[in-house]
Amino acid sequence: MIWNLPNTLTWLRIFAIPLVVVLYTLPFHWSDPAAGLLFAAAGITDSLDGYFARKYGQTSKLGAFLDPVADKLIVAVALVLIVSKDPRLVIVLTAIVIIGREIAISALREWMAELGQRRKVAVSRIGKHKTILQIVGLSMLLFRWDLLGLPIYRIGLALTVVAAVLTLWSMVSYLRAAWPELRARQ
């Protein structure tokens, strides 16, 4: 079903992407925080769509396809936007690590699925923690303003760097899990 609750939440996340871009690139003082808040709201839908799919038995092949696509798109777009305003090496390298890992693991999962071994590279607990840190960190980086005396941008950068480290760690664990198949299929 295309328009069940979980799929609708995923579609909303996809539709939020151009809005985040527009908000972040507007020349108004409130546009960065608005983009950060919209990104955070979209990130919350990432948790809710899976929860509702399982709770109401509304899992679908479309949802299983759309959810990771939506996640990867919105994260990649956010990273590109952040680099556009802050091209420091730490930001660029973090973006490269996160985007590069997403591409590599997506390809690995596709290949493992073709071999009937998709479960060996299913989302791990590390991957879930990485996603949470990534969404919170990127929301803060997009928000950019200090809030209640807290350096939101610097905190967001620290969280995103930790997420990038977890990204590498989870990639290594997925590659280890897939290694026997990779070696056997040379």
pLDDT, tens only, 83-114: 999 999 999 999 999 999 999 998 988 888 88
End-to-end distance of the chain based on CA atoms, in angstroms?
Answer: 39
User: What does the domain layout of the chain look like in residue ranges?
Assistant: 5-180
* C-alpha count within 13 angstroms, C-beta hemisphere, residue 19: 15
What is the C-alpha separation between 106 and 134, in angstroms, rounded?
17
What is the C-alpha separation between 36 and 85, in angstroms, rounded?
14
Helix axes 89-114, 61-85, angle to 10 degrees: 160
Structure tokens at 77: 């777009």
What is the C-alpha separation between 121 and 180, in angstroms, rounded?
12
Report the topology of domain 5-180: Four Helix Bundle (Hemerythrin (Met), subunit A) (1.20.120)
Is-above-0.85 flag for pTM?
yes
pLDDT, tens only, 36-67: 999 999 999 988 998 999 899 998 888 888 99
Instruction: Give the length of the chain.
Output: 186
What is the C-alpha separation between 99 and 171, in angstroms, rounded?
12
Q: What is the mean pLDDT of the chain?
A: 92
Residue 45: its pLDDT value, please?
Answer: 92
